Chains A and B, each alone.
Chain A
Amino acid sequence: MPKIAIASENGGGLDDVVASRFARAPKFTIVELDEKGNIVNVRVIDNPGAQATGGAAIKAIQALINEGVDLVVGPAFGPNAQAVLTEMNIKSMTAAAGTKIRDIVEQAKKELGLG
């Protein structure tokens, strides 16, 4: 089942908004969809990159790799982050900071070719 991770500004969840920075976002909202694009599960995980002294993006991505996500959503991705996401075959999508996460899911479905 497709999984999306959205960099979240506050406590995460569908009512939170997209964080202003990907690697330093405090939480990632993990949204699982079924093949039709319906939301089947929403979870929130801590971002280990949030408090990292260095290599924050990589620590964040490592957590998302371990989660097995297919698509990562953030306001922007740095060169290191983009390189690793590409290498790990994870799709990325940018969305303006402050966008409602619930609204992101709709766009993400299109990105994944669902629904």
Chain B
Amino acid sequence: MRVKLAVTGGKGGTGKSTVATNLAALLARERRLVLADLDVEAPNDHILLGVGLENEEPVKIMLPFIDYKKCTRCGVCAEVCDTGAIVLTRDKTPYVVPRLCSGCRACYFACPEKAIIEGQRVIGYTYHTNVRLKTSSFDLVTGVLREGEEHTPPVVLAARRRAMKLANDVLLVDTSAGTASHVAIALEGSKLAVAVTEPTPLGLHDLEMILKILSEQGIEAWVVVNRWGIGSSGRMMDRLAETARNYGAVIKARIPYSRDIVDSYVKGVPIVEMLPDHEVSKVFYSLAKEILETI
């Protein structure tokens, strides 16, 4: 991998995946690209690209089993368990709650009787799909957290690793919303992050949070304001620009609010492919061009 780029943004529903898939389509015209959908709680790049999830591989984490013949009911395993996944009965017999276990192995190492048996549990899957568009093709790696599971980081890591193994030129990651640890894991090592936001108070608030993370990680941030034109966009723009400035970031593009994006969404074709002359597509062209010049 020569360079890693990221699409993130803080607030949910600002159009991260729309930006990621359109940029992927354009960047792949010039470079060999792997797009990694690391929004493992709700991955949808494959939907926007109109492809399926293929080449499934399970993501497993360690799950402790107790050897009750060896267990002396000392309670150490529950004491060291950070996620509360080990409950003790009144006589201190440990009981494991699989869904709460993060697979950290603390109990395994702490047990003085070596009564913890290492088992495994599937918490998600990774996929690899070859995406063939009219004007470009690239590899899509997708991480999917199993429904009901709450330990996101191992799945993000597994998908990231799989994507990095495939990528020998450009890796573009699409993160989930928010600023959780798994977003930082997805962003790690990026040269540049496109922070997608919208001209709303919440868009502003969450943009500031993600810019803080990016500046702490030493990642250059380019702000893209999506849904330009809604509400009081003009008034919000000054505040977005000020926030960006405070974190050494710049506003690189505004994507006008357009129903045609929704159309492209529904059809599963990036708008740069579906309507190449559209004003929205033009924004993506110039953004992609600037990214290519930078990397």
CB within 8 Å of B: which residues of A? 52, 54-56, 58-59, 61-62, 65-66, 68, 79-80, 83-84, 87-88
Contacts and interface: CB of A to CB of B under 8 A. Distances in A.
Interface stretch (B94-102, B122-130, B192-200): B94-102
Contact of A59 (B84, B90, B99): B84
B89 interface: yes
B90 A58 contact: no
Contacts of B99: 79-80, 83
Contacts of B90: 65-66, 68
A67 B198 CA distance: 52
A99 B37 CA distance: 47
Contacts of B82: 54
Interface of B: 78, 82-85, 87-90, 95, 97, 99-100, 148
Given A62-B84, A87-B95, 4 more contacts: A54-B82, A54-B84, A79-B99, A84-B95
Interface of A: prevailing SS: helix
Nearest to B98: A83
Nearest to B95: A87
A71 B264 CA distance: 55
Given A58-B97, A87-B95, A65 B89 contact: yes
Contacts, number: 41
A111 to B, nearest CB: 21
A65 B88 contact: yes
Interface of B: prevailing SS: loop
A80 B87 CA distance: 11
A12 to B, nearest CB: 22
B88 A83 contact: no
Contacts of A61: 87
Contacts of A84: 87, 95, 97
23 contacts: A52-B84, A55-B83, A55-B85, A56-B84, A58-B84, A58-B85, A58-B97, A58-B100, A59-B84, A61-B87, A62-B84, A65-B87, A65-B89, A65-B90, A66-B90, A68-B90, A79-B99, A80-B97, A80-B100, A83-B99, A87-B87, A88-B89, A88-B95
A80 B95 CA distance: 13
A83 B96 CA distance: 11
Given A80-B97, A80-B99, A88 B83 contact: no
Nearest to B102: A54
A59 B79 CA distance: 11
A55 B84 contact: yes
A108 to B, nearest CB: 20
Nearest to B99: A80
A83 B95 CA distance: 11
Nearest to A66: B90
A24 B148 CA distance: 21
A52 B88 CA distance: 18
Given A54-B83, A55-B83, A62 B88 contact: yes
A68 B90 CA distance: 7
